[in-house]
Amino acid sequence: MGVLGTYRLRVRRRRFLLRAIRKRRELRAVAKRTKTIKRNDILLFSTLRNERFRLPYFLKYYRDMGVQHFLFVDNNSTDGSLEYLAKQDDVSVWTTKHSYKNSRFGVDWLTWLQMRYAHDHWALTVDVDEFLVFPFCDTRSLRALTDWLDASDVTSFGAMLLDMYPKGPLDHFHYTEGQNPFEIASWFDSGNYTLSLNPMYDNLWIQGGPRARQFFTDTPEQAPALNKIPLVRWNRRYAYVSSTHALLPRGLNKVYDQTGGEKASGCLLHAKFLEGFAEKAAEELVRKQHYAGSREYISYASGDGTEPDFWCKWSERYINWRQLEMLGLMSKGNWA
């Protein structure tokens, strides 16, 4: 990329930061415990709407992993999500009734909170249905990973979004609040992925998996992106471009090895596909608050209204991170 292209991206990043500063007025603090954040705490940022049944396990999972403080933006939930989060001692939560779409799908809101609270912290940015697994996560904490990244002078850590699903129609399996969702959604596609380089942001673009084969058979290029950069040693000058798919400055997107080797990477186990998915998809289609005119939700709702069945004879049952490494879906790189 030439000097002009670099300048344009710098201008774009500054514009994103200015947007976030303006969008801070849309947020109202409900429970603000940010004074308890210590200098080296690992922070987690997330936006949500009506995800009450997911929250107990989500919080437990990341607490056990080593997250010290959670910062949420609740987008006008009506199911008790806001009230539940406000009662948690390690959570700060803001609420807003403003448009998710007009906030760059929540990115502006989180960018402001990251500017304000995440500077020089390791910050994990995930949805409440995304669960990070990384090399040695069964024996080492998230702090062990960030310490190694610091020692290796690495600022950002990439992860592939891995859609998980049950064996059979989603409504055949009842999810109980607080349950590990992967006791139900324990299957994934071990192949069927495409990868390309996005020259503008220098990030890898990954597509495929069960959503591509189920909903985007005729238009695979429109399938959701699976590449994410959820873990970053944050600086108040940074900004996500689109969800956590890409960052500015663009150097943060080089979470892969250009010389033919492998950098350490992880996976985000995606527990989107549980009981009630069809109902949720129909609601979001009406709201029209998602990316690309809610194209993804239009595809979800194009069937007969029944819960989908993603399982096929090539599906593989999840065991652990080592299995994902053997399949080439993540890598321990040179972390031993």
Write out the DSSP string of 150-213.
Answer: HHTT--EEEEEEEE-B-SS-GGGSPPPTTS-GGGTS-EEESS-EEEEEETTTTEEEEEEHHHHH
pLDDT in tens, 71-84: 999 999 999 999 99
Instruction: Decide if 121 contacts 34 (C-beta within 8 A).
Output: no
Architecture of domain 3-326: Alpha-Beta Complex (3.90)
* Mean pLDDT to the nearest integer, 38-67: 97
Asked if omega into 249 is within 30° of 0 (cis), the reply is yes
Tell me, letter by letter, the H, E, C secondary structure of 21-35.
HHHHHHCEEEECCHH
Strand partners, 156: 232
pLDDT in tens, 146-189: 999 999 999 999 999 999 999 999 989 999 999 999 999 999 99
pLDDT at 301 over 90: no
What distance in Å separates the CA atoms of residue 142 and residue 326, rounded to the nearest whole number?
21
* Mean pLDDT to the nearest integer, 317-333: 97
| pLDDT value for 308 | 85
Beta strands in 76-163 (DSSP E): 91-95, 122-125, 130-133, 156-163
Express as a percent the part of the chain with pLDDT over 90: 84
Average model confidence (pLDDT) across the chain: 92
The full set of domain ranges for the chain reads: 3-326
What distance in Å separates the CA atoms of residue 114 and residue 91, rounded to the nearest whole number?
15
pLDDT in tens, 242-279: 899 999 999 999 999 877 778 999 999 999 999 877 77
User: Does pTM surpass 0.85?
Assistant: yes
